[in-house]
Structures are given as structure tokens and as C-alpha cells.
Structure 1
Amino acid sequence: MKKLLFLLCGVLFSTQLFYAQGSPDYTGGLKVKFDEEGKKYLRIISWAQVQATYNTDDSFDANGNENSKLNFNLRRARVLMFSQINKDFLILAHFGLNSLNSSTLSPTGKGEGSQLFFHDVWAQYSIGKDHAVGAGLHYFNGISRLNNQSTLNMMTLDNNRQSWATIGLSDQFARHIGVFAKGKLDRLQYRIAINDAITNGLDGRVPNGITDSNDPNYIGAVYGGKRLLGSADAGKAYAGYFDYHFLDEESNFLPYKVGSYLGGKEVFNIGAGFFLHPNGSVFTDTNGDLKGEDVSLFAIDAFYDAPLGDDGSAITAYATFQSNDYGTDYLYSAYGTGSMVYGHVGYVFSGDKAKTRYQPYASFASNSYDAVDDSRNIFGLGVNAYMSGHNSKLTLEYKNESFGNNDSGSITLQAMIYL
């Protein structure tokens, strides 16, 4: 009974300050200690993001009825837990749901859109002080910092969508099942992984045998190598990301990259990464036979976050260039063979860190595709109001996207609380 009472009373806030959240009154979250020193523990994190979006353009449903311009959305509702009873190994589980709205609600909460699912479940083993290996459903991704972005502390309203470059195509919601290694060599941090690709990804198309790109029915490559060619030829994907830390070193204890430190650290990193999926895509040759094509994505990026004085002001800036080869003339949803440039910059105004702080920001992305002449350009302009760092904040953002004949805009207000 005394042990049980000790465990129940051990549910308290950690003494370690998590600078990533930039909160004046938050010291690490809910932590169940299994010993007096806190070296054996279970940590629990929970967060919710709720949005109201106003679409500036008219839109219609499948029956021709005009859609409401104002819509509400539970963007994310998540719980993450990880535990160590020994410094040499760790287990993590992360579950929740995404984008629950009037179209995905179900009468009794049993529809697909209402279901919780695991985002991450992995086991990890330390190899010395600075290195570890692990396996499971994991988020140790390659390509770029934004492909490893945390959803707890983004500066913009959400991540740049195309930076999650394989989401649903080779993985489950930006997570693969596989093995990974991570660590650091002096100031160089690394993460590499060998994974099983998803069999039934978002791209369920089948090559239609048309090889003339001028034919209006031509579709180019299809990202379905494992489904169409089998796992022996197209089952494995390989990923890696490497970043050098010139100033303050960031933690790599968990894979989730911080979006903005709000001046809590002075960080300047340059990174590079890749994703390779042999025979990940399929096209039809001139004889009508299915042939595999390698998917290869590469990116370089830079991240800077630093205080600008002792008055609480700070800057956050990020830029990346990404080369995307999903196969010959691949174009599906927002993804396509071509290239992408993306950047954002934000400025935290000076002020009392114990009071509400404001951070205006701007972002821009341009995606070019081999299959079409038009580029997809996305511009965002917003402001964050931090009432307790990232733990309690409001974000208002205007976004405009233009691609071909489509030019649409939206205004979104998001409330987020993270415990």
C-alpha cells in the first residue's frame, strides 16, 4: 500500500526545463517517478489543436450544394507516453486522431474518421552515451528537418504539407515500420533507418499503358511499387538526415524537431537528408509491361533561432531546397517529380515572458512539377499569441494557394493547449 501511495504521489512536474516550449510556468510535464531520483519514470504528454477556418472562395459539394465558408476542425488530439526504468532502453507510444470535422464525424463515434490510432510505437536501446538503435513504428525520418517536425511547437499554423514528402505514399501518417539508428558525433547529429514500405498507400492508381505524354489520359508513374511488383522488388525504403549544430546543441532524445524556441536557445544548424525507395513507383513501358522506377528524394536546409537581446525579442528562420523524383512525370495530389523551395521567418516582439507574447511570421513554398508547366505556390501570413509559450497559444493565419486555374485563400484561427 505504501508503494502504491508513493507512486500515486509521484505524479508531479519534472524539474528539467524544456526550452522547446518557451513557457514561463511549465517545467516538463506530467511525470510518474518510480524511484526517488526520477531516473525510472513514465512521462505523459497530451495536446489538442482546434481550428475555425473561413474559406474566402465559393466551393460546392458532390451534389452541387454550396459549402459553408466557415468550418470547425479538431486538427489534432494526441497522447504521447514514454518510459525508462533503465537508461539503456526506452519504450514510446503515441496515439490520437487528426482532422475530425463534420464530414468525418460518425453518429456513434465508430466511423474511420473518429478512430484513435497509433502514430508511434517503438523500443530503443542505447549504445554508449551518444548512440542508440531501435525498431517499431517510428518517426526517425530522413530528407529534412520539416519531415521530422514536432506538432507541439510549430511556428506556422501547420507544417509545410509537401515537406512530409512520403506521407501516405510509403508510410502511415509519416511513420514507417522498421529499424533505426540515431546519435551524434561531436556536433554532427544523425538518424538513419531501413523500413518496410506500405503496401496499400494513398496512390491506388494502376498505370493505364499510355506512354505518350501528350495524350490527355496519360498519368505517368504510379507510386505503388510494392502493391504492383511485390515486396521482394519494392518492399524496402531507406532514409537518413544529418545536421551540424554550430551554436547551441539541440536534444535528439526524441525524433521530433522543434519549430521555434522563442529565443530560449541560440541555434544555427545546416542539414541534409535523403529518402530512397527502390522500385517504389511503377510505369508502363512501350511494350505494355510494368516496370519499376526508384523513388529518390534529397534536401538541404538551414535553421536559425536566437534571442535578439535581453528584452525577450527573438527570431526564427528556416529554408530548404528539396529535389523530388517519384518516377517519370509523377503527379498525385500535392506530390510530384520536380523540386521544392520553402522558407519561413518569424519575429517575437520584446516583452515580459510571463505575459502574452506575439510572433508575426510569413512563409512561402513553391513546388515545380515535370508533368505540368504550372508551379504550386503557397503563401502564408500569420501571428502567434503565446499565453504560456507553446503550451497555450492562439494562431491566426491567412494562406493563399495557386496552382493552374485554382487560386484559393483561407483564414484560420487555431487554439492549442499542450500539457
Structure 2
Amino acid sequence: MRKLTLLLTGLLLASFQYSNAQGSPDYTGGLKMKFNEDGSKYLRVISWAQVQANYNLDESLDANGNENSQLSFNLRRARVLMFAQINKDFLILTHFGLNSLNSSTLSPTGKGDGSQLFFHDVWAQYNIGKNHTVGGGLHYFNGISRLNNQSTLNMMTLDNNRQSWATIGLSDQFARHIGVFAKGQFEKLQYRVAINDASASSLDSRTAIAGGEAVYNGRATLGSKDAGKTYAGYFDYHFFDQESNFLPYKVGTYLGGKKVFNVGAGFFLHPKGAVIDTGSETAPDLQGEDVSIFAVDAFYDAPLSDNGSAITAYAVFQSNDYGKDYLFSAYGTGSMLYGHVGYVFKGEATKTRYQPYISYGTHSYDAVSDNRNTLGVGVNAFMSGHNSKLTLEYKNQKFGELDSNVISLQAMIYL
């Protein structure tokens, strides 16, 4: 009875730990239920929600020829993340939620696909030394770049650069694979590597046609023996303050809470992940093509003075090979250059702080002569660091005949 009373008391009182990544004077780490006096055995629970109002500056028509409303609302993310340790040598993490619930994905009784919660992450990990860990499950220890490992709790821009989640829905489940991973560090060099099963289903459900471009569904078409595995890794060298490597989620901006300068490089390989048809219409001959993605990037985040001003800057170059002339949605064989920079104005941490920012990305494709160019201009209002913030952003995207202009206002609360 005494143990039950202590557990309930811990749940109600919510013991906290400080988390520098969130830059909030009112936050000390979320709900943490201690199972012993020194807190080394615990369960920690984190919850967050991002709600958007989006105004499309361009008029459009629906499938029935009716004019669409230019104003729409979106529950961009609703998530719960839990992780626990009863021994410092192992950890279990569970992360579930939903994404982009809007008028198109709502269902009358909440049973439609868009309304459903699903697991984003479920993995177990074991320490094999002071600075090295192995684990397995549905995990987010991705390769390629920092943004392919981006946390959705503390992004500087309204959302992540979509093309940086380079395999989302193609070989994985919402940027997560099932497999095994290893992570750790050698002094200032951090690493994460993984071997995973490729998903048997893909958003790219097209059929390869004779003499045509590649399609990304090699696992489903060629089978798991030939196209069933993916390989990923990311390595970054930390010149100044060392970032946490405890969880895989990379911080978007520290708001001057750390002085960080990292240079990284990463990769993703999926042998025979794509398929082309080298035969004819009457005699198809399906062949696998390797998917290979490589990137180099740099991240800088530092205070500029003692009065609260700070700068955040990031840049990445990414080479994408999804197979011959591949082009599907935002993804295609070619190259990408992306960067963003933001500046936090001076001010007291206990009061609202503002961070204007600008982002720009250009993506070239082998299949077409046009580049996809994306420009974002926005401002964050941090009322309590990342734990309570508003983001206003204008985004323009141009690609071929597409010229999209959207203004978004997002409210986020994170506990």
C-alpha cells in the first residue's frame, strides 16, 4: 500500500528534470514518475499538439468544380511519447499519435484512416559501454542528415523541410524503419547506424513500364531476399558544446541555450529498392536499381550576447538517386540544396521572445528541366520557449506550373 501511495503521489506531483533544449524558464523536463528515491528508475511522459490555420492565397476548385475555401484548419500533430528505465543499462521508448487531421481526413465516427492513432516509435535499447548503445524495433535512428532525424518539438521553421525526410512512406512508416541500430560517440564524434527491413508497401504503387522511369517499390515487386534491407548512417562532429545523444531527435534551435557547431555526413542505401522495366510491352523484364542518398550538412546555434539574442543557422547538400529518372511527389533523382537562418531578439527569458527566420531550398531532378524552389519567411513568438509558441509563416513553392502561396499560423503547446 505504501508503494502504491508513493507512486500515485509521484504521478500527481510530477517530478521534473531540466531540459535545456526547450529554452523555457517555466519548464524542467515534463512528467517524470520516479520508482526510487534518486530517480534512476523512472517513467517519463511527454505530450504535444500543433494546431494550424492555413490561408491559401491562390484560389482553387475541388473535384466537383466548386470553389475551395482559402482558409482551412489542421491538427498538424498530436503526440504522446513515453520512455522508461529501471536500470541505466537499458531503456524502452513508445511514441504514438496522429498527423494532419483536417476536414478531408476526418471521418463521421472517428474510425477513418486519418483519425487513427498509430505507433511512430517503439524500440528497446541496451548500453554496451559508457558511450555506446545498441537497440531494435520501430525506430528513428536515421541516416542522411540532421533534418532526417529532426525532432518535431523544437523546429525553428514552421515544419521540417519535407525533402529531407527522404524515404517517408517509400521504404518506411512515417520516417521510421523496423530494424536494429547502434549509436554512440568517440569523444566529439557522434554516430548512428542502422540495418532495417524495407516496408513491403510503398506510397509509390506505380507499375514500371518498358523503357520508362524507375518506381520505388522494389521490396513488393522483387521480394525481400533481393530488395528487403536498407542501410543508414549519420556522423557529426561537435566542435563546441556536446549535444545529447540519448534519444535520436535532433534539436532545431536552442534559442541561445547552447553554443553548438556541428558538421555532419550521412547516407541511406536500399539495394534494388527501385524497379525499372528493361523489356518491352509484350515481354517485360523487371530489374532492380539501387537507391542511394548521401548528404553533408552543418549546424550552428549560439548566443550572441548576455541579453538573450542568439542565432541559428543550418545548411545541407543532398544527392538523391532513386533510380533512373525517378520523380514522385516531392522526391526524385537529382540533388537538393537547403538552408535556413534565424535570429532571436534580445529579451528576458521570462517574457515573450521573437525569432524571425528565412528558409530556402532548391531541388533539381534528372527527369525534368525545372527545379523545385521553396521559400519560407516566418517568425516565432516564444511565450515559454518551445513549450508555448506561435509561428507565423509565408511559404512559396514553385515547380513547373505549380506556384503555391500559403500563410500559416501555428500554435504549439508541449508538456
Please indicate the TM-score interval, normalised by the length of the shorter structure: over 0.9
Corresponding residue for 1:5? 5
Q: Which runs of 5+ in 2 are unaligned?
A: none
**Which is worse superposed, 10-19 or 24-33?**
10-19
1:304 aligns with 2:311: no
AA at the equivalent of 1:342? Y
CA deviation map 1:4-57 (0-9, x unaligned) = 110111134555321110001100110000000000000000000000000000
Checking the alignment, whether the CA contact within 8 Å between 2:238 and 2:260 is kept in structure 1 is: yes
CA deviation map 1:243-285 (0-9, x unaligned) = 0000000001000000000000000000000000000000011
1:251 aligns with 2:252: no
Corresponding residue for 1:214? none
AA at the equivalent of 1:276? L
AA at the equivalent of 1:109? G
AA at the equivalent of 1:208? I
CA distance in 2, matches of 1:60, 1:139: 38
Pick one of 371, 375, 378 that aligns with 2:371: 375
CA distance in 2, matches of 1:357, 1:377: 30
1:271 aligns with 2:267: no
Checking the alignment, whether the CA contact within 8 Å between 1:238 and 1:277 is kept in structure 2 is: yes
- Tell me by how many angstroms 1:2 deviates: 1.2
Checking the alignment, whether the CA contact within 8 Å between 1:13 and 1:28 is kept in structure 2 is: no
AA at the equivalent of 2:232? A
Corresponding residue for 1:177? 178
CA deviation map 1:306-340 (0-9, x unaligned) = 00000000000000000000000000000000000
Checking the alignment, whether the CA contact within 8 Å between 1:221 and 1:282 is kept in structure 2 is: yes
- Is the partner of 2:114 in helix, strand or coil? helix
AA at the equivalent of 2:273? G
Corresponding residue for 1:162? 163
CA distance in 1, matches of 2:18, 2:342: 23
Checking the alignment, whether the CA contact within 8 Å between 2:33 and 2:44 is kept in structure 1 is: yes
Pick one of 196, 209, 220 that aligns with 1:227: 220
- Is the partner of 2:111 in helix, strand or coil? coil
- Is the partner of 2:79 in helix, strand or coil? strand
Between the two proteins, the alignment pairs up a number of residues equal to 411
Q: Which runs of 5+ in 1 are unaligned?
A: 212-217
- Is the partner of 1:99 in helix, strand or coil? strand
**TM-score normalised by L of structure 1:** 0.97
Corresponding residue for 1:353? 349
CA distance in 2, matches of 1:10, 1:127: 31
Q: Percent of aligned pairs with the same residue? A: 77
**Which is worse superposed, 9-18 or 299-308?**
9-18
- Is the partner of 1:206 in helix, strand or coil? coil
Corresponding residue for 1:326? 322
CA distance in 1, matches of 2:294, 2:202: 21
CA deviation map 1:218-253 (0-9, x unaligned) = 4x0000101110100000000000000000000010
CA deviation map 1:364-416 (0-9, x unaligned) = 00000000000000000000000000000000000000001111100000000
CA distance in 2, matches of 1:224, 1:356: 48
1:239 aligns with 2:232: yes
1:76 aligns with 2:77: yes
Measured on the aligned residues, the alpha-carbon RMSD in Å equals 0.8
Q: How does 1:109-258 map to 2 (within 5 A)?
A: 109-209=110-210, 211=211, 218=212, 220-258=213-251
1:415 aligns with 2:411: yes
CA distance in 1, matches of 2:201, 2:66: 32
Corresponding residue for 2:24? 23
Checking the alignment, whether the CA contact within 8 Å between 1:122 and 1:135 is kept in structure 2 is: yes
**Runs of 4+, deviation exceeding 3 Å:** 12-16
Checking the alignment, whether the CA contact within 8 Å between 1:13 and 1:27 is kept in structure 2 is: no
AA at the equivalent of 1:175? R
Corresponding residue for 1:38? 39
- Is the partner of 1:10 in helix, strand or coil? helix
**Which is worse superposed, 279-288 or 238-247?**
279-288
- Is the partner of 1:48 in helix, strand or coil? strand
Corresponding residue for 1:57? 58
CA distance in 2, matches of 1:379, 1:249: 31
- Is the partner of 2:368 in helix, strand or coil? coil
